[in-house]
């Protein structure tokens, strides 16, 4: 792909972009004077689709109208509401419907999955994560180690970038597993690292882990809606992701949970129970012994918050309409243009640490700032550009193909250049 460095060229790319109409379907935040900001933080909180209000209003209306009977009589009956989300969510992550459910929140789901899939023994008990794992994931696995009576430092194995490098190498994971694999019970890896934006080869990780008898789980918080992880074919044992980043379902919204089909009918897996993972046929007989549902639904505990689910449904209907293939095609082009423009800036103050290969990243580019000068990020904010500063020294920027334009990217880099 050859790009050009001019506003007219960027505008031309927008005109030729068959997805450019989608921007209008989202609320773009504005500054005090009413100017639209340049929003590059869809990796942190995705923007609100304009239809979301209508979807939530529908449930508020049905609640007002029917009270408890809305569970059956609502336009979208609440009793089975989560089922309306399953097929679309499964497509987004490349899974079979039996493998996916929308429930609870991300960190909670990681714990529920570890209840089932982290079964340490005295000698095989360690958990492997990336050294730069998202803090919540690190705390979660450390607390699981402690919960099972292990030392939460000694039990943690970290996959680190080499000295002087920023990215992880798969061959280093291979060496760790070769050496210590017999002591490692679980790999819990961020499919896309939140800091560097590196997209790891999930299938390869699963193969390497399984070869050593480890369970492999993936956190897809930065992957879902951003790349196609093909979860089923990757053969990972489990995965979870939130829906408020690239899936635009609102602050703190619910999580997706994946359990590979090979575990669908394993009733012997230890798990926590509630009435929502009990057989739907007899759930309301109330006096039945527990009879677990097959597939991912067998990890639910509670009846879900419908208002949050309605926001997810609004968002998934957009993904369903557009399709991941078209989105990914635009995404590669948009981020490619962003990368090109940044690399054209003649300055040694900034450096992109995200992989150059578009197969090894999603839309996010992580820009490392020399001397960890946070001022640069603050100046961007003053110029109405919303990016995200992550300690110690990175500005994360995500042009999202659903609502960011080539012109956004061009204008952002022009301002960045003027600030350097
Ligand atoms: C965003 C994110 C979280 C947040 O977890 P919540 O339980 O939704 O608060 C956890 N892990 C990763 C990798 C994330 O990117």
CA distance 350 to 246: 25
Last residue of a domain, one of 320, 341, 359: 320
Beta bridge partners of residue 100, listed in sequence order: 258
- Helix, coil or strand: residue 332: helix
Task: Note the pLDDT of residue 241.
Answer: 98
Q: Is the pLDDT score of 21 beyond 80? A: yes
In a shared domain, residues 80 and 173: yes
Task: Read off the pLDDT of residues 30-68 as tens digits, 9 standing for 90 and up.
Answer: 999 999 999 999 999 999 999 999 999 999 999 999 999
Task: Note the pLDDT of residue 8.
Answer: 97
In a shared domain, residues 23 and 129: no
In a shared domain, residues 306 and 328: no
Answer whether 52's CB lies under 8 Å from 311's CB.
Answer: yes
CATH of the domain at 285: 3.40.640.10
Task: Note the pLDDT of residue 225.
Answer: 98
CA 159 to ligand 1 centroid distance, Å: 19
Tell me the DSSP string of 249-274.
--TT--EEEEE-GGGTT-TTS-----
Residue 51, domain member (yes or no) = no
Residue 260, domain member (yes or no) = yes
Task: Note the pLDDT of residue 300.
Answer: 98
Mean pLDDT rounded to a whole number for the chain: 97
Please give the average per-residue pLDDT across 188-211, as a whole number. 98
Q: How many domains does the chain have?
A: 2
CA 219 to ligand 1 centroid distance, Å: 8
In a shared domain, residues 113 and 217: yes
Cβ neighbours of residue 328 closer than 8 Å, sequence gap 6 or more:
227, 228, 401
Nearest atom in ligand 1 to the alpha carbon of residue 44 is: 1
CA distance 307 to 245: 18
In a shared domain, residues 146 and 95: yes
CA 257 to ligand 1 centroid distance, Å: 13
Q: Is the pLDDT score of 333 beyond 90? A: yes
CA distance 311 to 102: 12
Q: Is the pLDDT score of 105 beyond 90? A: yes
pLDDT band per the 50, 70, 90 thresholds, residue 2: confident
In a shared domain, residues 190 and 265: yes
In a shared domain, residues 349 and 314: no
Task: Read off the pLDDT of residues 42-52 as tens digits, 9 standing for 90 and up.
Answer: 999 999 999 99
Q: Which of 104, 134, 249 to mutate to test the pocket of ligand 1 (most atoms within 8 A of CB)?
A: 134
Task: Note the pLDDT of residue 287.
Answer: 84
pLDDT band per the 50, 70, 90 thresholds, residue 199: very high
In a shared domain, residues 250 and 101: yes
Q: At what angle do helices 7-16 and 324-344 cross, to 10 degrees?
A: 170
CATH of the domain at 328: 3.90.1150.10
Write the residue with the smallest CA distance to atom 8 of ligand 1.
106
Nearest atom in ligand 1 to the alpha carbon of residue 133 is: 13
Q: Which residue has the tokens 């942190």?
A: 44
Write the residue with the smallest CA distance to atom 10 of ligand 1.
136
Write the residue with the smallest CA distance to atom 1 of ligand 1.
221
CA distance 270 to 304: 22
Last residue of a domain, one of 291, 320, 349: 320
- Helix, coil or strand: residue 116: helix
CA 225 to ligand 1 centroid distance, Å: 15
Task: Note the pLDDT of residue 373.
Answer: 83
Q: Is the pLDDT score of 355 beyond 80? A: yes
Please give the average per-residue pLDDT across 184-195, as a whole number. 97
CA 15 to ligand 1 centroid distance, Å: 35
Last residue of a domain, one of 320, 346, 381: 320
CA distance 55 to 312: 9
Provide the residue range defining the domain that includes 89. 58-320
Task: Note the pLDDT of residue 371.
Answer: 86
In a shared domain, residues 218 and 354: no
Residue 353, domain member (yes or no) = yes
As for ligand 1, residues whose beta carbon falls within 6 Å of it are 105-107, 134, 136-137, 190, 194, 219, 221-222, 242
pTM: 0.97
Residue 207, domain member (yes or no) = yes
In a shared domain, residues 182 and 285: yes
Q: How far is CA 183 from the centre of its chain?
A: 29
pLDDT band per the 50, 70, 90 thresholds, residue 372: confident
């Amino acid at each position: 792909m050859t790009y050009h460095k001019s506003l007219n060229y960027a505008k031309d790319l927008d005109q030729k972009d068959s997805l450019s109409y989608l921007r209008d379907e989202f609320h773009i935040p504005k500054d005090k004077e009413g100017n639209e900001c340049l929003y590059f933080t869809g990796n942190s909180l995705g923007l609100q689709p304009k239809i979301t209000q209508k979807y939530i209003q529908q449930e508020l209306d049905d609640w007002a109208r029917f009270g408890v009977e809305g569970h059956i009589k609502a336009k979208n009956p609440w009793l089975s509401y989560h089922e309306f989300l399953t097929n679309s969510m499964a497509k987004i992550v490349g899974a079979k419907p039996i493998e996916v459910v929308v429930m609870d929140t991300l960190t909670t789901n990681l714990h529920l999955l570890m209840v089932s899939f982290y079964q340490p023994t005295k000698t095989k008990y360690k958990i492997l994560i990336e050294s730069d794992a998202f803090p919540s994931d690190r705390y979660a696995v450390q607390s699981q180690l402690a919960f099972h009576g292990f030392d939460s430092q000694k039990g943690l194995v970290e996959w680190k970038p080499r000295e002087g490098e920023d990215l992880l190498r798969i061959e280093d994971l291979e060496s760790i597993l070769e050496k210590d694999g017999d002591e490692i019970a679980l790999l819990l890896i961020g499919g896309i690292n939140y800091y560097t934006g590196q997209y790891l080869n999930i299938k390869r990780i699963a193969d390497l882990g399984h070869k050593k008898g480890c369970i492999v789980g993936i956190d897809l918080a930065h992957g879902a809606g951003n790349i196609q992880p093909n979860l089923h074919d990757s053969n990972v044992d489990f995965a979870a992701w939130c829906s408020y980043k690239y899936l635009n379902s609102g602050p703190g919204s619910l999580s997706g949970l994946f359990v590979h089909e090979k575990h669908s009918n394993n009733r012997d897996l230890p798990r926590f129970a509630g009435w929502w993972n009990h057989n739907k046929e007899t759930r309301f007989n109330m006096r039945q012994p527990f009879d677990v549902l097959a597939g991912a639904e067998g990890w639910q505990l509670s009846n879900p918050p419908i208002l949050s689910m309605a926001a997810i449904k609004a968002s998934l209907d957009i993904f369903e309409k557009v399709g991941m293939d078209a989105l990914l095609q635009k995404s590669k082009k948009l981020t490619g243009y962003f990368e090109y423009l940044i690399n054209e800036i003649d300055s040694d103050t900034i450096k992109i640490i995200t992989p150059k290969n578009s197969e090894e990243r999603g839309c996010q580019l992580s820009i490392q700032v020399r001397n960890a000068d946070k001022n640069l990020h603050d100046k961007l904010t003053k110029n109405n550009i919303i990016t995200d500063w992550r300690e110690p020294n990175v500005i994360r920027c995500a042009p999202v193909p659903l609502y960011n334009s080539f012109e956004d990217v061009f204008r952002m880099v022009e301002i960045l250049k003027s600030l350097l």
